[in-house]
Amino acid sequence: MFNKRIVFTIFALVAFFGLGTGTAWAQPTTDTVVVTYEVTAVTQINLNGAASVTIVAGTPGSGLPSVTDSSGVTYDITNNAGAESMRLTGKIDIAMPANTTLSVSVTAPSGAVSAGFVDLTATDQDLVTGIDNVDEAAVAISFRLAATVAAGVLSSATKTFTMTIVAT
């Protein structure tokens, strides 16, 4: 009878304290948190390189030929503002001398339309329209210098070309 009491007491203690039953004292808990996210409009361009155009020869009786630099300048563009949401404009800082024209042709990124060669002035000119969501690098830009014989001889000079990406 004494052995039965010891066994019963040990069994009661084990049951009371949960020893050996595999029951955990702490219950797992879960919780939640709200995550807010946003992607804003990212519209950027970056010009790379430099151009040089020099008229050095001509054909007698045919005037002066235009000269084009198609390898010196490229641009990178990123736009996520939507379909046909942007356009590229361009200008030079100061007007060209009389009887000379500096033109630019900006290759359009995928899905957009280039205006081809556009004569540059000190006022913004449309160069590319219909720019969609795009991310492209090293897109070509060509500069062309044209002059008549009435321009005479011009010393080397520079113009600052500014290209801007703007909403349509």
Classify residue 34: in a domain, yes or no.
no
Q: What does the DSSP 8-state code read for residue 109? A: P
Q: Convert the pLDDT of each residue in 99-109 to its tens digit.
A: 999 999 999 99
Classify residue 7: in a domain, yes or no.
no
Classify residue 15: in a domain, yes or no.
no
Identify the domain containing residue 70 by its residue range. 43-167
Classify residue 25: in a domain, yes or no.
no
Classify residue 110: in a domain, yes or no.
yes
Classify residue 134: in a domain, yes or no.
yes
Q: Which residues touch 57 (CB under 8 Å, ≥6 apart)?
A: 65
| pLDDT the model gives residue 3 | 57
Chain mean position to CA 44: 4
Q: If DSSP codes are grouped into helix, strand and coil, which group holds residue 81? A: coil
The count of structural domains within the chain is 1
> What's the pLDDT band for 76 if we cut at 50, 70, 90?
very high
d(CA 111, CA 34): 38
CATH number for the domain spanning 86: value is 2.60.40
Nearest to 114 by CA among 78, 140, 148: 140
The answer to whether the predicted template modeling score (pTM) of the entire model surpasses 0.95 is no
